[in-house]
């Protein structure tokens, strides 16, 4: 694509969503709808994009910081929205521009490319993307003159005959920039809503004898948007089912799809099994022959081949091959579990490297630590990494045995093949091959409990 730009209409305030966010920031599969559009444009190589924003502009700009933007202070229709981008369009004279809605997330890159190719081949002033729906209620109807598009009639302005038309305007258009700028100056609010309709540009082009094309999308879902929470739920379910279908075709086994949600950026290897309640978010990569779930959330992480992850949360971390963790384990950001690590129930790992075949069985916190291979953590071990002001690291060598209920007070280093006696609080370096005992010697006072009862009387019940 050469000399192309985009205008994204994103001024909706989301009143029917009952949300404090602008409508385009409502999420489909954990990503704001406008980010779906941004990804499709980026895949097409369209880098120069102007968003037309309304209330909550700062929030939208934070979601798509690479977009330029203009403000639509009054809501006077789609044509009026594009008018706000005139200065942007004037910078692209002689080129072509795609105009699309920020709350229609299923307009994919392939559809945009195909429509553009048709636009160029036909030397059209306008090429609109259309779809054929079983129930077109609520959409503008495409009225053709032979193969060419004569006009678009909005639902509110349609007569009975027009309402029978099933081909609808999907809400995305390719324009010759020069023509679009001329046509915007001629728009009038001569309709039931008293608004400036962008769709009236079609009639202007037809009246001038210019070529108006309609590219019919292969996937009718490109027309779908969301005006309320029910519509947003419908988009999420359609997107979820599409992702499930894609991964099933790639050789992923989904025993039961209940609660299984896979974001578009996720990749999964063959013969991996996803159990109910598995949620995979962000840029996550899952290897082959894994079992993920049930009730597991993984975000922006890399999971190696052969891992077993049961009822866990993993964020921004890496698991090498054949790691087994859970249930009820939390792997927090910047952690790396090397090959063969075993993490049991009620364990938290944060900002740490855990070496090969190390075992952290249960009820343990490993934070800000560098742990060697073949280490065994006893139940209740804590790497004490925070003193109220700063975070410090614990270093544990290969082959160490950390006894139950031990506290390792960072910064501290435990040498290779050392033993930490159960119940110890370690504050100083432990050399290799040593035994560290840091607890008071046991004292037994015979008869003390009986004397106390006699002195204080029986216990209250």
Would you please indicate which residues are annotated as catalytic (active-site) residues? 362
Beta carbons within 10 angstroms of residue 431's beta carbon: 12
According to DSSP, the β-strands at 412-414 and 141-145 are unpaired
Cα–Cα nearest to 385, from 373, 398, 369? 369
Give dist(CA 316, CA 335) in Å, integer.
8
Residue 396 pairs in a beta bridge with 371, 414
Helix pair angle (109-121, 33-44), 10° resolution? 50
Alpha-carbon distance of 112 to 95, in angstroms, equals 16
Determine how many CB atoms are found less than 10 A away from the CB of residue 339: 17
Residue 272 contacts by C-beta under 8 Å, 6 or more apart in sequence?
252, 253, 286, 287, 288, 289, 290, 291, 292
Does residue 231 sit in helix, strand or coil?
Answer: helix
The torsion region of residue 71 among left (phi > 0), alpha (psi -120 to 50) and beta comes to beta
Cis before 311 (ω within 30): no
Q: Report strand pairing: 312-315 vs 329-331.
A: parallel
Distance CA 348, CA 312 (A): 10
Contact 155, 138 (CB under 8 A): yes
Q: How crowded is residue 1: how many other Cβ atoms within 10 Å of its Cβ?
A: 15
Token pair of 234, please? 């419908």
Q: How far apart are CA 223 and CA 221, in angstroms?
A: 5
Residues facing residue 243 across a β-bridge: none
The encoded tokens of residue 313 equal: 């949360």
Residues 6 or more apart from 83 whose CB is under 8 A from it? 184, 187, 196
Report the C-alpha gap between 451 and 457 in whole angstroms. Answer: 10
Angle 339-345-349 from CA coordinates, rounded to 5°: 55
The token duo for 48 is 């120069």
The dihedral over CA atoms of 125, 131, 135, 136, expressed in degrees to the nearest 10, equals -10
């Amino acid at each position: 694509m050469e000399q192309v730009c985009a205008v994204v209409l994103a001024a909706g305030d989301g009143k029917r969503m009952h949300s404090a966010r602008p409508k385009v920031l409502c999420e489909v599969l954990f990503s704001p709808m406008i980010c779906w559009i941004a990804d499709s444009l980026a895949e097409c190589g369209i880098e120069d994009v102007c968003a037309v924003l309304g209330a909550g502009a700062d929030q939208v700009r934070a979601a798509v910081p690479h977009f330029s933007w203009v403000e639509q202070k009054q809501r006077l229709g789609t044509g009026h929205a594009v008018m706000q981008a005139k200065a942007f369009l004037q910078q692209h004279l002689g080129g072509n521009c795609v105009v699309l809605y920020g709350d229609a997330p299923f307009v994919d890159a392939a559809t945009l490319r195909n429509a553009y190719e048709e636009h160029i081949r036909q030397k059209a002033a306008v090429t609109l993307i259309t779809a054929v729906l079983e129930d077109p209620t609520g959409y503008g109807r495409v009225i053709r003159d032979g193969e060419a598009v004569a006009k678009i009639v909005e639902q509110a302005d349609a007569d009975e005959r027009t309402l029978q038309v099933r081909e609808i305007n999907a809400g995305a258009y390719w324009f010759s920039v020069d023509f679009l700028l001329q046509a915007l100056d001629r728009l009038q609010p001569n309709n039931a809503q008293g608004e400036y309709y962008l769709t009236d540009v079609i009639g202007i082009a037809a009246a001038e004898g210019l070529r108006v094309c309609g590219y019919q999308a292969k996937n009718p879902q490109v027309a779908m948007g969301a005006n309320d929470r029910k519509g947003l739920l419908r988009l999420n379910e359609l997107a979820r089912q599409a992702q499930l279908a894609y991964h099933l075709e790639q050789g992923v086994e989904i025993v039961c799809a209940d609660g299984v949600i896979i974001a578009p950026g996720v990749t999964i290897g063959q013969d991996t099994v996803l159990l109910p309640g598995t949620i995979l978010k962000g840029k996550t990569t899952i290897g082959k022959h894994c079992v993920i779930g049930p009730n597991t959330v993984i975000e922006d992480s890399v999971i190696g081949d052969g891992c077993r992850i049961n009822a866990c949360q993993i964020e921004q971390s890496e698991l090498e091959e054949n790691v087994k963790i859970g249930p009820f384990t939390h792997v927090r950001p910047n952690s790396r579990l090397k090959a063969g690590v075993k993490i049991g129930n009620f364990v938290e790992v944060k900002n740490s490297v855990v070496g090969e075949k190390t075992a952290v069985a249960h009820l343990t916190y490993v934070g800000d630590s560098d742990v060697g291979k073949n280490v065994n953590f006893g139940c209740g071990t804590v790497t004490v990494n925070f003193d109220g002001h700063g975070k410090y690291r614990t270093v544990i060598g290969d082959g160490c045995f950390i006894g139950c209920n031990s506290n390792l007070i960072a910064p501290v280093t435990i040498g290779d093949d050392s033993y930490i006696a159960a119940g110890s609080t370690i504050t100083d370096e432990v050399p290799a091959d040593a035994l560290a005992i840091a607890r008071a010697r046991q004292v037994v006072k015979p008869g003390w409990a009986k004397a106390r009862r006699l002195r204080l009387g029986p216990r209250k019940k």
